[in-house]
């Protein structure tokens, strides 16, 4: 019977219930989108690194941050001469001005093709002339770029020669030399990282050790598996803290909205609660009833949130797939649900106690 | 019908409300004995303490001092929880404003009272009570679809569903027109006559009081006339 009363009460105030659930849902959506975005961006970056086909990455530091032109290109020849190194390819990374996370990658196209096994082209050709530009599908979609058109980047006119699948090196690929000349990295020739392919992939760890000892701290070698594992939320403390903050905020906002909704409901229903008490409802029964209502809010809110998160994902991926990548994170659905539930239960405590403590006679004379 | 052992025994009952710094003496030494099976009318001017007396008899408020026995239970000794149980099992309330739950149908209003007392099924013979009340065809309606008289009869059904020892009706006809008033009063009298239900009824109307076996008058927190 209590369940019936809960359901009838919810139906009686359907619009408010739905609004409240919607706010909870927006919270859930924000969490899911934040996680999906973090993971999507990281996975996307990891995929592109993986797509280079390198067994070992050489960088100025050991982290995933890049800075343009910090490595003397002579190191490429040096590394190429090391035992077990089949191929060493230098790459320059230049951020695109005005675009948050997009960079232009300069590589020797022929060498890089050998390293990676080639770009997976959807349209057109790989770059062959100095001013040729290869873009990936996401960049092409977001910026409406087509094969054959002239496209301006870094104040330079490029000819778009091809559109490739995402997941190899970067969104924008151009010949290394041209990029070096444009950015003052030509003399002396400077690059951002070195991709290394080994003749025996099983020897990666030994080779990393060897390279790190012969490079004497000038560069850091890191194996592809170790490098790729850095692209995860748990390995980025700042991102993790940020997520904790957002989750805490979500619990708080969920608490506030359920608190408000339940508080109004309790005041509004003063008389009704008085009737229940006169009929012999115990304080626990009253609290139980309100808690069940909050749980319904949280569950409905969570479902709305999951649905909304698909909408947010679709929207982001349709409008700006090059800047932002979102993935669906079903493993976070129960977590987001628990967060919504925690907020809702916290929100139900005070109104519940207030309702339970209310004097039945006074409540009955409440208009 | 004033024979047999007393189902309600009240002596020197006091109830004092504290409102801010002021003590309001709502009851000042009430003595009352109600035999099992009596239909008693309580009349008296506004503010004389009639409702307060009912609230105490029904376990909605604790007495301040004095003796109150309801169906063998000493109300002075009850905890809050035990008073709640008293309301569930021994007392049926009927109010002037019906006090049905607006979100539930008539049937569910009755059912929830039963459910709060820990039962999910109707007591045996309850169908006849519903028929006597004349609401058996209106049970699937919500209160707002029912007339005042019908709502009050649903409230009576709800008050009876746990087979209470005493039925406390606080101005049950106060909101009803003469026709509906009469119907409700006749139902109360029939319940009393046919099943020996003990009923206490507050009223301002002498004609309503005439339905009862006996009338007592309250004034200034005491019962003055018998
Ligand atoms: N909860 C309360 N707090 C303070 N004073 C109260 C409370 N309940 C009743 N009183 C006071 O107790 C006195 C008796 O009130 P009560 O409601 O019992 O009168 P009544 O006889 O039922 O009147 P009426 O015929 O108007 O219903 C009144 O002076 C009233 O103001
Ligand atoms: Mg009164």
Does residue B82 belong to the interface with chain A, where contact is any CB pair within 8 Å?
no
B-chain CB neighbours of A11 within 8 Å are 103
| pLDDT at residue B78 is higher than 70 | yes
Can you tell me which atom of ligand 1 is nearest the CA of B49? 18
The pLDDT of A98-126, averaged and rounded, is: 92
For residue B142, give the chain A residue with the closest CA: A8
pLDDT tier at B5, thresholds 50, 70, 90: confident
Average pLDDT, chain B: 93
CA distance B145 to chain A (A): 15
| pLDDT at residue A68 is higher than 80 | no
**Residues of chain A with pLDDT > 70: what percent?**
98
A367 against A337, higher pLDDT: A337
For residue B98, give the chain A residue with the closest CA: A275
pLDDT tier at B148, thresholds 50, 70, 90: very high
CA distance linking residue B129 with residue B136, whole number of Å:
9
| pLDDT at residue A367 is higher than 80 | no
CA distance linking residue A48 with residue A53, whole number of Å:
9
Rounded to two decimals, the ipTM of the complex is 0.93
Q: Domain map of chain B by residue range?
A: 36-62+87-225
B-chain CB neighbours of A280 within 8 Å are 84-85, 87-89, 113, 116-117
- The residue whose two tokens read 């230049």 is A94
Can you tell me which atom of ligand 1 is nearest the CA of B19? 4
Tell me how far the alpha carbon of residue B36 is from its chain's centroid. 14
For residue B108, give the chain A residue with the closest CA: A1
Instruction: Pick the ligand that lies closest to the CA of residue B17.
Output: 1
Which pLDDT belongs to residue B39? Answer: 97
How many pairs of residues across A and B have Cβ atoms under 8 Å apart? 67
| pLDDT at residue B118 is higher than 50 | yes
Can you tell me which atom of ligand 1 is nearest the CA of B55? 18
Q: Domain map of chain A by residue range?
A: 2-44+235-364, 65-198
- Residue A349: other Cβ atoms inside 10 A: 17
- pLDDT tens digit sequence for B166-211: 999 999 999 999 999 999 999 999 999 999 999 999 999 999 999 9
A-chain CB neighbours of B85 within 8 Å are 280
**Residues of chain A with pLDDT > 90: what percent?**
66
Phi-psi region of A222 (alpha: psi -120 to 50; beta: other; left: phi over 0): beta
Q: Which two tokens stand for residue A92?
A: 């320059």
CA distance linking residue A294 with residue A349, whole number of Å:
10
Which candidate from A2, A4, A278 shows the least CB-CB separation from B60? A278
Task: Write the residue with the smallest CA distance to atom 2 of ligand 1.
Answer: B17
For residue B85, give the chain A residue with the closest CA: A280
Which pLDDT belongs to residue A69? Answer: 62
Can you tell me which atom of ligand 1 is nearest the CA of B24? 5
Q: Which among A275, A283, A362 is the top mutation candidate for probing chain B, defined by the most B β-carbons within 10 Å of its own β-carbon?
A: A275
Which pLDDT belongs to residue A233? Answer: 86
| Chain A positions with Cβ closer than 8 Å to B | 1-2, 4-5, 8-9, 11-12, 271-272, 274-282, 285, 360-361, 364
Contacts of A341 (CB under 8 A, 6+ apart): A295, A298, A299, A302
| pLDDT at residue A71 is higher than 70 | yes
The pLDDT of B204-219, averaged and rounded, is: 95
| pLDDT at residue A62 is higher than 60 | no
| CA of B68 relative to ligand 2 center, distance in Å | 19
A-chain CB neighbours of B107 within 8 Å are none
Pocket test of ligand 1: the residue of B19, B25, B51 to mutate, having most ligand atoms within 8 Å of its CB, is B51
Strand-pair partners of B24? B17
Instruction: Pick the ligand that lies closest to the CA of residue B27.
Output: 1
State whether B116 and A364 contact (CB < 8 Å): no
CA distance B94 to chain A (A): 10
Can you tell me which atom of ligand 1 is nearest the CA of B50? 21
pTM for the whole structure = 0.82
Rounded to the nearest 10°, the torsion over CA A309, A315, A321, A325 is -10
- CATH of the domain spanning B36-62+87-225: 3.40.50.300
State whether A5 and B104 contact (CB < 8 Å): yes
Does residue B61 belong to the interface with chain A, where contact is any CB pair within 8 Å?
yes
Asked if A238 and A26 count as a contact pair (C-beta separation under 8 A), the reply is no
State whether A275 and B88 contact (CB < 8 Å): no
**B126-164: buried (b, 16+ CB within 10 Å) or exposed (e) per residue?**
beebbebbebeebbebbbeebebbbbbbbbbbbbbbbbb
The pLDDT of B116-134, averaged and rounded, is: 90
State whether A280 and B88 contact (CB < 8 Å): yes
A-chain CB neighbours of B113 within 8 Å are 279-280
CA distance B226 to chain A (A): 28
- pLDDT tens digit sequence for A212-255: 999 888 889 999 999 999 888 888 888 889 889 988 888 888 88
CA distance linking residue A169 with residue B49, whole number of Å:
88
pLDDT tier at A64, thresholds 50, 70, 90: low
| CA of B93 relative to ligand 1 center, distance in Å | 17
| pLDDT at residue A363 is higher than 70 | yes
CA distance linking residue A27 with residue A249, whole number of Å:
9
The pLDDT of B126-155, averaged and rounded, is: 94
CA distance A271 to chain B (A): 8
The pLDDT of B8-35, averaged and rounded, is: 95
Which pLDDT belongs to residue B1? Answer: 45
- pLDDT tens digit sequence for A196-209: 999 988 889 999 99
pLDDT tier at B2, thresholds 50, 70, 90: very low
Cα separations in angstroms, B78 against B14, B18, B25, B75: 16, 21, 22, 5
Average pLDDT, chain A: 91
CA distance linking residue B112 with residue A292, whole number of Å:
17
Residue A13 φ/ψ, nearest 5 degrees: -120, 50
pLDDT tier at A86, thresholds 50, 70, 90: very high
**Is the dihedral angle over the CA atoms B138, B139, B145, B147 positive or is it negative?**
positive
Count CA atoms within 13 Å of residue B15 on its CB side.
Answer: 25
Ligand 1 interacting residues, C-beta cut-off 6 A? A 361; B 17, 19, 24, 26, 44, 46-52
């Amino acid at each position: 019977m209590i369940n019936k009363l809960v359901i009838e009460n919810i139906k009686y105030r359907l619009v408010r219930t739905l609004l409240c659930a919607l706010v909870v849902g927006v919270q859930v959506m924000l969490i899911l989108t934040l996680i999906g975005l973090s993971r999507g961006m990281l996975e996307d970056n990891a995929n592109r690194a993986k797509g280079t086909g390198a067994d070992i990455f050489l960088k100025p530091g050991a982290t995933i941050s890049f800075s343009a032109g910090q490595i003397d290109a002579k190191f490429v020849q040096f590394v190429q001469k090391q035992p077990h190194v089949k191929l060493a390819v230098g790459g320059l990374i230049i951020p695109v001005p005005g675009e948050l996370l997009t960079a232009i990658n300069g590589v020797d196209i022929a060498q890089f093709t050998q390293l990676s096994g080639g770009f997976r082209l959807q349209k057109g050709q790989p770059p062959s002339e100095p001013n040729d530009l290869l873009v990936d599908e996401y960049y092409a979609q977001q910026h409406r770029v087509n094969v054959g058109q002239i496209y301006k980047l870094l104040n330079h006119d490029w000819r778009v020669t091809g559109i490739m699948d995402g997941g190899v090196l970067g969104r924008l690929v151009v010949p290394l030399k041209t990029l070096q000349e444009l950015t003052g990295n030509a003399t002396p020739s400077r690059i951002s990282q070195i991709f290394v392919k080994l003749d025996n992939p099983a020897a990666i760890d030994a080779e990393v050790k060897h390279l790190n000892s012969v490079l004497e701290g000038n560069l850091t070698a890191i194996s592809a598996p170790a490098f790729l594992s850095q692209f995860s939320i748990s390995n980025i403390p700042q991102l993790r803290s940020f997520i904790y903050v957002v989750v805490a905020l979500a619990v708080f906002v969920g608490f506030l909205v359920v608190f408000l909704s339940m508080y109004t409901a309790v005041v509004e229903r003063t008389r009704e609660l008085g009737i229940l008490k006169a009929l012999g409802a115990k304080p626990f029964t009253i609290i139980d009833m309100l808690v069940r209502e909050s749980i319904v809010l949280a569950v409905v809110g969570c479902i709305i949130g999951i649905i909304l998160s698909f909408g947010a994902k679709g929207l982001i991926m349709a409008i700006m797939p090059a800047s932002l990548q979102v993935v669906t994170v079903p493993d976070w659905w129960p977590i987001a649900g628990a967060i919504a539930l925690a907020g809702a239960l916290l929100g139900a405590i005070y109104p519940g106690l207030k309702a339970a403590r209310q004097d039945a006679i006074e409540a009955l004379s409440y208009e | 019908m004033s024979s047999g052992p007393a189902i309600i025994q009240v002596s020197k009952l006091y109830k004092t409300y504290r409102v801010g710094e002021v003590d309001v003496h709502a009851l000042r030494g009430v003595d009352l004995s109600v035999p099992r099976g009596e239909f008693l009318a309580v009349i008296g001017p506004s503010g004389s303490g009639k409702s307060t007396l009912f609230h105490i008899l029904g376990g909605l408020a604790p007495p301040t001092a004095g003796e109150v026995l309801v169906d063998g239970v000493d109300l002075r000794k009850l905890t809050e929880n035990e008073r709640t149980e008293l309301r569930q099992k021994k007392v049926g309330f009927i109010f002037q404003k019906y006090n049905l739950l607006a979100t539930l149908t008539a049937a569910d209003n009755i059912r929830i009272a039963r459910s709060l007392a820990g039962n999910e099924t109707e007591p045996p013979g309850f169908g006849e009570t519903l028929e006597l009340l004349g609401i058996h065809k209106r049970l699937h309606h919500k209160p707002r679809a029912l007339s005042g008289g019908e709502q009050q009869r649903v409230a009576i059904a709800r008050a009876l569903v746990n087979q209470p020892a005493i039925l406390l009706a606080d101005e049950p006809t106060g909101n009803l027109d003469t026709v509906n008033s009469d119907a409700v009063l006749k139902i109360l009298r029939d319940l009393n006559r046919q099943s020996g239900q003990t009923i206490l009824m507050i009223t301002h109307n002498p004609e309503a009081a005439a339905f009862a076996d006996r009338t007592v008058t309250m004034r200034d927190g005491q019962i003055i006339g018998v």
